Chains A and B, each alone.
Chain A
Amino acid sequence: MRSDQPFFLWRHLNKLRWVSLSVVFAMLVLLPYLHVYQTYVAAHAYDLLAPSERQVYGVMETLTQPFVGDPAEDLDAIKGNTWSGTFWGLKLSDPLAAFGQMAAGLTIYWPFWLTALIPIALTVVFGRFFCGWICPATFIYELNSNFASWLRWAGIKIGNRHFDKRIKYGVLALGLILSAATGSVLIAAIYPPAIIGREIYYAIAIGGFGAGMMFFIGTLLFDLLVARRGFCRYLCPGGALYSLLGRYRLLRIRRIVETCNDCAKCNAVCEFDLDPLRDGFGQECNNCTACIAICPTNALTFAIRPTDYPAQGPGHLGRRYRSEHAAGDESAAEHREAA
């Protein structure tokens, strides 16, 4: 019997993913406070601050004191959000920002494209990993999905409609066209991670949400009432771009057909409505590893190859395969004995 076990740590990658999502989100909340603290320091304003502002000052001072000498300058090391940011001088930008800006100005500005190069390269290798591992909107959307399943558990009907997943490619194409027509990066206004990043900044440092928060709440309601993870599945232009870039990604999830028992938990847990049970990962898989974590027989693992495995048929531990191969097949007989 040829059945390779996946490396045991891969079951736990999903927890690591939640750590990553939480850290990104926490940073998006922390950075605006750090900026406010920096402005207080730069203005030597401690004596003029209101009590609540002094509280911010104190907390941020405690947090950063071990790491910085001069907060007003040194805290500039990490700035920005997932749409565009700088880390110790390394500027990184979302590939969608580069495409959107190119469309809006109808020019290519190479220094900006260089900042998108590392994310593009990572997307080509790891596929849509941004959506599962970094996107601050995913953090909220997945909590929203959990909330929806609580509601379902409590007997409240939650929408679970299905649309055509190709709509998001339309959103991407239309976004580029509209950006070119209006001369403004319209995609930035409807792309949830960009919205989250700047709205948190507006709310904390400037005082009050901007125009994007209502849009984001709208997408949350859409996910809750109409379609599970509906915005990511059907509408997100970023997801569309990364799916296209990651179409021939090298790192994929594959099903080990010998140990699969057709329980379909992977299909139920997949946020993106993919079909791991029938080897249907496709270009939209974001390697979030939720299916690896839930698989009861360790039948999902990583593979390094540019295309999905062709459909391998029913899992060998499943009822269907066993009844089909009841006579003669060694492994099925073995498992029958074991069972």
Chain B
Amino acid sequence: MKRRGVLQSLIAAATLLAAGALPYGVSLLLAPGRAAAKRNHLRPPGALKDDAAFIAACIGCGLCGEVCPPRCIRFHARDGGVMVNTPYVDPEKKGCILCGKCMQVCPTEAISVIPQNEINMGIAEIDQTACYPWVDRGVCGACVSVCPLGEKAIGFKMWNQYRPIIKQGCVGCGLCVEVCPHPSLPIWVVERSQQTAPLSNV
């Protein structure tokens, strides 16, 4: 008799748990998720470098977006999956100005306050077979003039004054991507580990 009671209460508890799965199932259906783009998908400055840790730490409150002066921080919506409501910066739409307000406002450890030269959102790459000055289609230099870090992040190749080259100091804010006038955007930002184009230390 007693064993039967225990069994019944166990079954009841299991049923309650199963019923509790319903809202999670619905929310996962509503945000099925998609693999994030390899390029031009930046986390805000100061974000945890390990993306899994970042997703675990972020509570999706949206505060970083709500203080961002250029409104460059966007949030994963239906494309999110497990990273739904986490912030990202798409430099093709808007680049980060490295003001650091999101670092200060984040309540969790997802985005922490770090000095500007330690920010690592990624690193820019230039397609030298498309960029206007590199293929001798005129002069430009928009990316070089907009860079908030100047000399240490981006510069011109010597002897060819308008051919831009990326340097080690680049933190990947993406302003150069935002400003690039070329329709196919031959400049983009990738993770440092995925960087393929050679860097110049000139």
Contact = CB atoms under 8 A, between A and B. Distances in A.
B27 interface: yes
B58 to A, nearest CB: 7
Contacts of B53: 105
Given A174-B17, A202-B77, A206-B71, A97 B59 contact: yes
B101 A76 contact: yes
B23 A171 contact: yes
B55 interface: yes
Contacts of A190: 23-24, 26-27
A35 B66 contact: yes
A101 B59 contact: yes
SS class of chain A's interface: helix, strand, loop or mixed? Answer: helix
A284 to B, nearest CB: 15
Contacts of A83: 59-61
Contacts of A80: 61-63, 66, 105
Interface string A183-202: 11110111000100110011
Interface stretch (A38-46, A59-67, A126-134, A263-271): A38-46
Contacts of A38: 69
B30 A194 contact: no
Contacts of A189: 24, 27, 31, 60, 84-85
Given A32-B66, A206-B75, A97 B20 contact: no
A188 B59 CA distance: 7
Contacts of A43: 69-70
Contacts of A198: 60-62, 75, 85
B63 A167 contact: no
A235 interface: yes
A84 B59 contact: yes
Interface string A61-101: 00000000000100010011101111000010100010011
Interface residues of A, number: 66
Contacts of B13: 170
A170 B108 contact: no
A208 B74 CA distance: 11
A147 interface: no
A202 B108 CA distance: 21
Interface in A136-190: 163-164, 166-175, 178, 182-186, 188-190
Contacts of B84: 184, 189, 210-211
B55 A184 contact: yes
B57 A105 contact: yes
A26 B75 CA distance: 23
Contacts of B158: none
**How many B residues touch the partner, as a band?**
35 or more
Contacts of B80: 211
B109 to A, nearest CB: 5
Nearest to A82: B61
A79 B20 contact: no
A105 B80 CA distance: 18
A189 B25 CA distance: 11
Label chain B's interface by main secondary structure: helix
Contacts of A85: 61, 63
Contacts of A32: 66
B69 A39 contact: yes
A280 B143 CA distance: 68
A167 B55 CA distance: 27
Nearest to B108: A112
Nearest to A182: B82
A84 B16 contact: no
A300 interface: no
Contacts of A72: 69
B42 to A, nearest CB: 16
A27 interface: no
Contacts of B101: 76
A214 interface: yes
B19 interface: yes
Given A170-B20, A189-B27, A210 B85 contact: yes
B145 to A, nearest CB: 18
B83 to A, nearest CB: 7
B148 interface: no
Nearest to A208: B77
A174 B24 contact: yes
B24 A178 contact: yes
Given A112-B108, A174-B24, A214-B30, 5 more contacts: A174-B21, A185-B58, A206-B65, A206-B75, A211-B84
Interface of A: 31-32, 35-36, 38-39, 42-43, 72, 76, 79-81, 83-86, 91, 93, 97, 100-101, 104-106, 109, 111-112, 115, 163-164, 166-175, 178, 182-186, 188-190, 194, 197-198, 201-202, 205-206, 208-212, 214-215, 218, 235
6 contacts: A79-B67, A81-B62, A185-B58, A188-B85, A208-B77, A211-B78
Closest 7 CB pairs of A and B: A170-B20, A210-B77, A84-B61, A171-B20, A170-B16, A105-B56, A184-B82
